[in-house]
Amino acid sequence: MSLASTSPPITAQAVRADSIGYLAQTFADKRLPLRVLRSAAGYYIGTFDDHDGPCSRESFEYFPSRDAAAKALATGAWTQRSHP
């Protein structure tokens, strides 16, 4: 008898529904909430670890302002990246 988990792999849609970063969960094994972050390229939707700093850029898009990124996050009007 195998003790391995038989649960299906996590999907981007499942974690997005929970407002959790798919890339952070999948590639860093960290369950972190989605939030608006900023880089030199602009604002983006990603995750941030309080101990390690920025963890993942989840959105394909960069946004011109914090407000535009926050609106995209709130309305779901952004594109999930499939890999880091």
**Would 82 be classed as within a structural domain?**
no
Q: DSSP secondary-structure letter at 60?
A: S
- Could you tell me if residue 58 is inside a domain? yes
Q: Which domain holds residue 60?
A: 12-75
pLDDT in tens, 28-66: 999 999 999 999 999 999 999 999 999 999 999 999 999
The answer to the question of residue 69 being in a domain is yes
- The count of structural domains within the chain is 1
Residue 38 included in any domain: yes
**Any domain includes 33:** yes
Percentage of the chain lying above the pLDDT 70 cut: 80
Whether the Cβ atoms of residue 42 and residue 62 lie closer than 8 Å to each other: yes
Name every residue whose Cβ is closer than 8 Å to that of residue 63 and which is 6 or more positions away in sequence. 42, 43, 44, 69, 72
